[in-house]
A = this chain, B = another copy of it.
Amino acid sequence: MKPAAAQKRIEGVLAPVITPFRRDLSPDADRFVKHCRWLMNSGCAGLAVFGTNSEANSMSVEEKLELLDALVKGGVAASALMPGTGHCALTDSVKMTREAVRMGCGGVLMLPPFYYKGVSDEGLFRNFSEVIERVGDERLRLYLYHIPPVSSVGISLELIERLLARYPGIVAGAKDSSGDWNNTRAMLERFKDRGFDVFPGSEVFLLDGLRAGGKGCITATGNINPGPISEVFKNFRSGESDKLQAGITATRKIVQKVPMIPALKAITAHFANNPAWRTVRPPLTELAPEQDRQVISELKAAGFSMLGL
């Protein structure tokens, strides 16, 4: 394996960046770079591009690599990027992870292969192990992506244990999008002081996570509310933290009343004054007009804005 350079790990709030499509459903790299720069200027510590909220699995590997290339060429530091590189196909995961490492990405966020259900930890171990071995680069920082409500295939604590024992330093942490605080807490407790950085998949658990040793959060609404969410991260030891947390949780709850991905796009479209942002790839559909009006009007009533967008 190639030796690792001294690397500072990503800590703080990461947005799983929504992907802009043109009317013909092709990815719009210029708009993507612009949105990513806005996120980094608005408080995000990093960008988990090509996540669930990015409609990453609705794009080919080639489309994603083109966007990643545009991002780095567009001036976003590769060290702040944690692209999703896990696919059903082993060879796709290897290809994309290898490219991400080559470009100097701070990490990769890796889904398990998610077509077959009820697979064994042994099969999942072999998948991640094959990717790590084939990439063969000590610079790889692999974050496991646990999101059973969508993938239907989860990452058990026992699987983490095996991977961490075999690949310490490379297996760097996890995003826990189970929505189950008990699972996040169990991850935090079991892998404490072992170089395993846990990021809850929602800012609702940000403060609780930080207090239990978490390193931030990777959250859908980081796309639209990065400033206030990052304030919780920055001030979590202050007397203001509970109040700040209550504020971001309230915003999250407004957005969650409607389907998340088209909601993030509708909100961005509204505040960027660019309706093209509403476009999603099938099988998703945009919000119904009444849902769109509702989420915007409730956010405005709560004083929400996207400054500088």
**Which residues does A use to contact B, with CB under 8 Å?**
25, 52, 57-61, 63, 88-92, 95, 112-117, 119-120, 122-124, 126-127, 130, 149-153, 281-285
Contacts and interface: CB of A to CB of B under 8 A. Distances in A.
Given A122-B285, A123-B283, 20 more contacts: A25-B130, A57-B113, A57-B115, A58-B90, A58-B113, A59-B89, A59-B91, A60-B61, A60-B89, A63-B91, A90-B281, A90-B282, A114-B115, A116-B283, A117-B149, A119-B284, A126-B282, A126-B283, A130-B282, A153-B283
Contacts of A120: 283, 285
Contacts of A89: 57-60, 63
9 contacts: A25-B90, A58-B90, A113-B283, A114-B114, A122-B285, A123-B282, A124-B283, A127-B283, A153-B283
A24 to B, nearest CB: 10
Contact of A282 (B58, B127, B285): B127
Contacts of A112: 283
Contacts of A95: 60
A117 B152 contact: yes
